[in-house]
Amino acid sequence: MNIKSIVAAVAVATMSVTSLAACGSSDKQSSEKPDMLSVWTYEPTTSAQYQAWKKSADKFTQDTGIKVKFETKSFTQIAQNSSQFLDSDQAPDVMESNRGNGSAGMLASMSLLTDLSPYVDKYGWDKKVTKADSSMARYTDKGVMNGDTWYGVPSYAEFQRVYYNKDMFAKYGIQIPKTLDEFEEACQKFKAAGVTPIDADAGEYGVMWLWWQLISTKADNKFMDAWQMYKQPVDWKGEAFTFATNKINEWLEKGYISRTATGLKAEDTNSSFIKGDFPIYQTGTWNQSRFITQIKTFDWESHILPGSKMAQGCTGNLLVIPEKSKHKDWSAQLLNNVLSEDIQTGIAEEGGIPVVANVKSVKNDKNKAMIEEYSTFSKKNALSYYPDYPASNLTDAIPAALQELVNGTKKPSDVEAQIQKAYTDGVKDMDVKN
């Protein structure tokens, strides 16, 4: 039984026990104006996007008189139980959904999300959001991203950048690298001076993101179409895949990445970089606002890994309208507010990357540079997304394989074989290929 069948079976069984779905309920919209819309999210209430959504809701209430009630769920609640909630009368009017084939794509393929095409035409969302940025909002009938049908609205974006401790570079007389060769030369100089250069964790996703960014220095759209969209078989012996695994292994052997990374998690590496313990740290731009506010003892700058052809990242989690919603037109109007220029500019000022904004109005130079760098890749459709999107098992399987590399318990070819098997099995289990 594939994953979609399992999810559907669990949803039916759960609702028969808990009576979540009322008999004879209709999916048709109510003709009456509601007093309130319900919105489920799992964003931290301090995040740039949550604050933007709240501001958007306030504007919506001013314009329509309809109140908006936000309910904060846990990521696990929505990730594990959304198919049950969405197929019941408990479904909210709007919900935050994780992106990708194994999340929003699966829900769309199960007919649990509203086809937003009429609202895309009405509000011109496809004119506001670039094709690359809308790829996570559009799915095929199989639930594969970058399809033709909109099922969600993105309101922000993020990608992986390398953050440099400029004071440490100056102390050791090393230049901020502009090419991958210069990056490795900088690592060699730091190591020769007794400094481990790269801050990385293998206990969660740090090494995986670094590995995928190295793939993104060699990969092209054909490789990404194969990996992410299953358009042709993945070239497991090609340069992109083998180069990245061998390069991570080389950096481990040379001490550019410590083998103690195997026991570290993201918060460990975040904290160590903030304290000034490492000169180099690749992480997601979601940490940008934190670095701006918490780094007090040194100056820093950030760029995508030198030599990258593609940016690892994409638009953030989606706002979707459940098929069971009785107030779809009003919900779509609320979503449209989220894409307004003033709301999007607010995301930028808080340290996020908006999908629609006037970059010239952003006052913080570091935030402006981050947004402009993302835009250069997004506009030319050069996003590599994240490596675990093709199948739900890869979020655990790829880091586990790379942890073997960090531990030194498997050689690169064995790690590659382990990832290949996990990918092949996971995609087959997802039942997304034609």
Domain boundaries, the chain: 28-154+316-357, 158-313+385-430
Instruction: Say what the pLDDT of residue 361 is.
Output: 81
Our measurement of the distance from residue 79's CA atom to the centroid of its chain's CA atoms, rounded to an integer in Å, reads 14
What is the residue-wise DSSP string for 1-26? --HHHHHHHHHHHHHHHH--SPTT--
Give 424's Cβ-side CA count (13 Å radius): 10
Residues whose CB falls within 8 Å of the CB of residue 267, separated by 6 or more in sequence, listed in order: none
Classify 425 as helix, strand or coil: helix
Residues 30 and 382: their CA atoms lie apart, in Å, by 42
Residues 370 and 377: their CA atoms lie apart, in Å, by 11
Residues 298 and 25: their CA atoms lie apart, in Å, by 60
Residues 61 and 67: their CA atoms lie apart, in Å, by 5
Burial of 424 (0-12, 13-18, 19+ CB in 10 A): middle
Residues in the chain: 434
Helices and strands in the chain, H and E counts: 18, 13
Instruction: Say what the pLDDT of residue 2 is.
Output: 53
Instruction: Say what the pLDDT of residue 7 is.
Output: 46
Residues 87 and 113: their CA atoms lie apart, in Å, by 10
CATH code at 158-313+385-430:
3.40.190.10
Instruction: Say what the pLDDT of residue 267 is.
Output: 93
Whether the CB-CB separation of 352 and 289 falls below 8 Å is answered with: yes
Instruction: Say what the pLDDT of residue 90 is.
Output: 86
Q: Which CATH class is domain 28-154+316-357?
A: alpha beta
Classify the phi-psi angles of 137: left when phi > 0, otherwise alpha if psi is within -120 to 50, otherwise beta: alpha
Instruction: Say what the pLDDT of residue 5 is.
Output: 47
Rg of the chain on CA atoms, in Å: 22
* Regions of the chain where pLDDT drops below 70: 1-28, 434
Whether the CB-CB separation of 56 and 340 falls below 8 Å is answered with: yes
Whether the CB-CB separation of 68 and 39 falls below 8 Å is answered with: yes
Instruction: Say what the pLDDT of residue 28 is.
Output: 65
Q: Which 3-state string (H, E, C) describes 299-338?
A: CEEEECCCCCCCECEEECCEEECECCCCCHHHHHHHHHHH
**Strand 36-41 and strand 67-72: pairing?**
parallel
> Which tens digit of pLDDT belongs to each residue from 298-335?
999 999 999 999 999 999 899 999 999 999 999 999 99
Residues 313 and 160: their CA atoms lie apart, in Å, by 6
Instruction: Say what the pLDDT of residue 350 is.
Output: 82
Instruction: Say what the pLDDT of residue 179 is.
Output: 99
Residues 138 and 149: their CA atoms lie apart, in Å, by 5
Helix 48-64 and helix 328-338, axial crossing angle in degrees, nearest 10: 130
Residue matched to tokens 């109510």: 30
Classify the phi-psi angles of 307: left when phi > 0, otherwise alpha if psi is within -120 to 50, otherwise beta: left
Same fold, 28-154+316-357 and 158-313+385-430: yes
